[in-house]
Each structure stands twice: as structure tokens, then as C-alpha cells.
């Protein structure tokens, strides 16, 4: 059955298809991931050329015929085009889109994650905040908004709370552990634990007030380990500079 739909969307990835077409993976707030064809967008002067670029956000008009979805029109609201002129920041953004391609699934609405992504991309494109710090924020928020945040309140094995023991961090086990349950795990400073606890709920506009910059690198390392433990099968991840 044919059906049409107009929805906000962000392009997560694209691939050339046939002579003039592209396949795109769209992230939509109400329908999750949608794979769609953009016909003729590689022809010169195609009005859909920019709408098939990764990072592009806008209103997309889609037509579903049987199993195939086609983009029929698009109105770009934010292309984040300036991001392409800063290679380091672009790599960070590419990492975010890769993570989203892994965690966003078909027919699963997640409006909060959609809004957070637009916010994060705006800060990556237009703010002076270091890209590695924004990436650490993005990872923490991504896991909160998909329900997979690491547990940093207690030992995930024996449930001893943080005020009763010095907690360590074990990405594979899903968060904090006590020295008794995982003697080989990374130590975790209280400052880093606080960032891991608060940053997932902190708006980007307040990230500078959350903790001094020197307290971030440890938290950024731990959340990256956690991310890689969750999406270990992900291929061709960009090499990012550390915080």
C-alpha cells in the first residue's frame, strides 16, 4: 500500500546507488530509522542534492510504495555545512552519526534523542567548546536517552553504594564496581564519577559550569570504553583526538 509522510529528519549516512541516485539513512523523531532512496539527486542542479548529505537536517517528504521509501521533497532547516571546513570537528560529528546508525532502530520513536542530536550538532558546528568534550557529552547523553547509561551510583555486582566504598569502573560490566568485586578495574576519581553522573542530564549550554576542563579527560576515557563495549562490532570508526 502506498503512503506518504512528512517528518523532521537528520541524514545519518548516504551511499551512491545506480547512476544518479543515493540511498540515505534518516533518523526521525517519531519513526526512528528510515532507509530511503533519493532519486536523481546526483544529477547537476538536483534540488535534492544537499538533502542527501550526512548531517543535513530538515523536513523530509517520504513516499512508501511496498517496501521501498523514496524522498520526494526536502526542506533543509540546518545543513551544518560549516562543519565540513573543520576536519577535526567533522571527524567527531562522523563518530556521532556512526553511533546513531547503530542505536537508532526502525519504528522506535525517540524525540528526546533527536532533539539532543540537533543541539549537539549546533554546538559542534558553532561553539568554541572542544570537540572531544562535546563527544564525551554526546556519548553520555546518548546512553541515557536510549536507557543504557552506565551505573555510577553503586557496584554493579554487589550493589555496595558509592558512599560506602571507593568505586572503580569496568566498561564491560556496565559501570562502577568495588575493589572487592573487580580488583583489576580502572580506578575512578570522585570528580570523574560526578561528571558521569551529572553530564548525561546537563544541557550543552551549561557544560562549562558542570566541572573544570581538567576534570573531564578521565570521564571522557571511561565513557569511550563504555561506548566501545556496547558497540564493539562497529566498523571504520574515525580516529578521534583525545580530550
Question: Using CB under 5 A as the criterion, which residues of the chain lie in contact with Zn ion when the complex forms?
Answer: 155, 157-158, 178, 181
CB 153 → Zn ion: shortest distance, Å? 12
Cβ closest to Zn ion, residue 158 vs residue 206: 158
The three cell numbers of residue 29 are: 523523531
Q: What are the helix (H) ranges across 72-189?
A: 87-103, 111-126, 131-145
Cβ pair 78, 122 in contact under 8 A: yes
Beta strand residue intervals within the chain, DSSP E: 3-17, 21-28, 32-38, 57-65, 68-78, 167-170, 175-178, 186-187
- Are 73 and 62 in contact by the 8 Å Cβ rule? The answer is no
State how far the Cα of 204 lies from the Cα of 227, in Å rounded to an integer: 20
Smaller CB distance to Zn ion: residue 146 or 162?
162
Q: How far is the CB of 227 from Zn ion (least distance, A)?
A: 23
Nearer to Zn ion, 157 or 228 (CB): 157
Q: Which one, 139 or 170, has the nearer CB to Zn ion?
A: 170
- Pair 92, 132: CB distance under 8 Å: yes
Shortest Å distance, C-beta 226 to Zn ion: 18
Least distance between Zn ion and beta carbon 194 (Å): 20
Per DSSP, the three-state class of 183 is coil
| 145 touches 110 (CB < 8 A) | yes
Are 113 and 97 in contact, with CB atoms under 8 Å apart? no
Nearer to Zn ion, 50 or 160 (CB): 160
Amino acid at each position: 500500500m502506498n503512503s506518504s509522510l512528512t517528518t523532521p529528519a537528520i541524514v545519518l549516512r548516504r551511499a551512491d546507488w545506480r547512476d544518479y541516485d543515493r540511498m540515505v539513512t534518516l533518523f526521525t523523531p517519531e519513526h526512528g530509522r528510515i532507509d530511503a532512496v533519493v532519486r536523481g539527486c546526483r544529477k547537476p542542479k538536483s534540488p535534492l542534492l544537499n538533502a542527501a548529505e550526512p548531517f543535513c537536517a530538515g523536513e523530509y517528504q517520504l513516499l512508501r510504495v511496498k517496501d521501498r521509501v523514496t524522498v520526494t521533497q526536502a526542506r533543509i532547516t540546518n545543513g551544518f555545512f560549516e562543519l565540513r571546513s573543520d576536519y577535526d570537528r567533522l571527524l567527531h560529528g562522523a563518530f556521532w552519526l556512526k553511533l546513531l546508525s547503530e542505536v537508532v532502530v526502525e519504528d522506535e520513536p525517540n524525540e528526546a534523542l533527536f532533539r539532543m542530536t540537533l543541539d549537539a550538532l549546533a554546538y559542534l558546528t558553532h561553539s568554541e567548546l572542544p570537540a572531544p568534550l562535546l563527544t564525551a557529552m554526546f556519548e553520555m547523553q546518548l546512553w541515557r536517552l536510549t536507557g543504557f547509561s552506565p551505573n555510577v551510583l553503586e557496584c554493579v555486582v554487589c550493589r555496595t553504594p558509592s558512599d560506602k566504598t571507593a568505586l572503580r569502573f569496568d566498561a564491560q560490566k556496565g559501570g562502577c564496581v568495588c575493589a572487592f568485586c573487580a580488583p583489576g578495574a580502572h580506578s575512578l576519581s570522585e570528580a570523574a564519577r560526578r561528571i558521569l553522573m551529572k553530564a548525561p542530564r546537563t544541557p550543552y549550554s551549561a557544560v562549562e559550569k558542570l566541572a573544570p576542563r581538567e576534570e573531564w579527560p578521565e570521564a571522557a576515557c571511561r565513557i569511550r570504553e563504555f561506548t566501545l563495549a556496547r558497540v564493539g562490532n562497529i566498523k571504520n570508526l574515525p580516529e578521534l583526538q583525545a580530550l
